[in-house]
Structure 1
């Protein structure tokens, strides 16, 4: 894809009816925002962005030290809340703590997520599949559901974090891709339902974001690097956590139904129905993919036997 192609995509998006682009605007000043996974990475960068705009921010993270350090760094309008998004009761309690601290909840961002080690469906530990689903998918429900009475009452906004990974087959990483595709559908459904009561929701998609999770998954694991090498440019382009957070923050201000960063993923997102028919066929024939699958399975079996 060249610069001319990207300009054409932007022009096409600009022509999309305004009703599709958003439902009014949202001013973060004096609003109460909850962000999960906000102790580090994209979540922390988003907290910094919205705090700078005048929002009060609840830094919700499973790591108490990370949450506390981030809240202290932000200032008096930030609080640290420790909870596991996979624990439904704990998340209900967490939202109640935010209500007590701020008196309301205007925005919820379900950002927390994990990536499993490379494994095929055949060799995967079922407990690992359950863990990823519990955090990435069930954790989104556990985050959003207890906050909805406030979101509805304030005419607020919800963001669920999917991924550009939801657009493509998830060989060697099916739990992640599966959950992110499900989160996309959850967010789309939520937007339609909230429209009936004057609130909004959006789905955030990222390509490869330069975070500690990315380094551990793609850079420091030889099989992860091999998976990453299969992505062609510009889909392999990385963005910073700050750039990813800026995309979400902008989407909140516009009450956007979706945000995608980097922009190189837009054509794929728009045309994936056709692209995936071709892509799936090519991947099933690609000898590099076959070789990678065999390597993934050999390592998974070796670790199981160790």
Structure 2
């Protein structure tokens, strides 16, 4: 009996996976994007606008958001909000609804890169600020916009990373955050279903942005990067990443991965993570990089 029930459940899951839901066209939709001033957020806003969406550009600094809004023209507006402030995000959501009449899609994109230190040496404030922005910032974004998304039966996309399942050596707070974002997206997917709304997560590899440049700015981080095959660290363009996310939104997909190599690693993550951990444990350059990072962190600033 239990086996029969399990097989029936598996059959229904497969059927849902191969049945495409109706296309959720972005034409005329209101897309609320955090971290929209530059990098992936700005590129996503531009590409969404090309698809006919109206875009609410949200970020910490108003001036670059206003410049982007002016560049895009009709159907774009700037809203100042720091994702570490629930009050500011709530005001941005309220103002976006007042401006556009609602919110259909949320892209929780704002994020920062931590310094390349070990768990033993990273500054406590730096660790907690990364989690505050990269995980709790996405939670606050969801909470502020959720009433509008439920009303429109819209879609929420949380911007995750391969670090949701990659080893977070020298980037622990970022990896911790992205693992948490994955769980938040999975939870939302189930909780929103009865309301006709959907949620998903983007598992993205390295992107040619300031965030990636900051993350690998020092020699220790570069050593970690060089310990894995180059195909896994080659940067994709922000346009490619933005289009992948927007395509997933239009499919109401529960997940999207880019570039192409992420998908098989994600599918076999139990093997992927075990192999990766073993490689990093036994790579002499990685262990040297960890030691160097620890020494550098303990040296007084000049």
TM over 0.5: yes
> Which residue, out of 255, 259, 279, partners 2:256?
259
Residue by residue over 1:171-230, the C-alpha shift from the partner in whole angstroms, topping out at 9 and shown as x without a partner, is 111000110111011001101111111111110111110012222322x42223222212
Cα RMSD between the aligned structures? 1.7
Question: How far apart are residue 17 of structure 1 and its match?
Answer: 4.3
Q: Say whether residues 1:300 and 2:297 are aligned partners.
A: yes
Match runs of 1:83-122 below 5 Å: 83-122=81-120
Match runs of 1:178-189 below 5 Å: 178-189=176-187
Q: Secondary structure at the match of 2:230?
A: coil
Distance change in 2, residues 1:278/1:225 (3 Å): closer
Question: How far apart are residue 285 of structure 1 and its match?
Answer: 2.4
Question: How far apart are residue 79 of structure 1 and its match?
Answer: 0.3
Q: Say whether residues 1:250 and 2:250 are aligned partners.
A: no
CA distance in 2 between counterparts of 1:140 and 1:111 reads 8
Question: How far apart are residue 40 of structure 1 and its match?
Answer: 0.6
Q: Which residue of 2 aligns with 1:7?
A: none
CA distance in 2 between counterparts of 1:110 and 1:81 reads 14
> Which residue, out of 259, 272, 277, partners 2:274?
277
CA distance in 2 between counterparts of 1:108 and 1:201 reads 9
Provide the TM-score with structure 2 as the length reference: 0.92
Q: Indicate conservation of the 8 Å contact 2:31/2:53, yes or no.
A: yes
Q: Which residue of 2 aligns with 1:13?
A: none
Aligned residues: 290
Q: Secondary structure at the match of 1:210?
A: coil
Q: Indicate conservation of the 8 Å contact 1:22/1:256, yes or no.
A: no
> Which residue, out of 145, 167, 173, partners 1:175?
173
> Which residue, out of 192, 206, 209, partners 2:207?
209
Match runs of 1:231-250 below 5 Å: 231-250=228-247
CA distance in 2 between counterparts of 1:178 and 1:245 reads 23
Q: Secondary structure at the match of 1:112?
A: coil
Q: Say whether residues 1:227 and 2:218 are aligned partners.
A: no
Of residues 16-25 and 67-76 in structure 1, the stretch that sits farther from structure 2 once superposed is 16-25
Q: Secondary structure at the match of 2:195?
A: coil
Residue by residue over 1:98-150, the C-alpha shift from the partner in whole angstroms, topping out at 9 and shown as x without a partner, is 01101101000000000111000000111001100110011001101121111
Question: How far apart are residue 287 of structure 1 and its match?
Answer: 1.8
Unaligned residue ranges in structure 1 (runs of 5+): 1-15
Q: Which residue of 2 aligns with 1:125?
A: 123
Q: Which residue of 1 aligns with 2:7?
A: none
CA distance in 2 between counterparts of 1:181 and 1:88 reads 21
Unaligned residue ranges in structure 2 (runs of 5+): 1-13
Provide the TM-score with structure 1 as the length reference: 0.91
Q: Secondary structure at the match of 2:229?
A: coil
Match runs of 1:62-73 below 5 Å: 62-73=60-71
Q: Indicate conservation of the 8 Å contact 2:127/2:173, yes or no.
A: yes
CA distance in 2 between counterparts of 1:163 and 1:171 reads 15
CA distance in 1 between counterparts of 2:73 and 2:224 reads 40
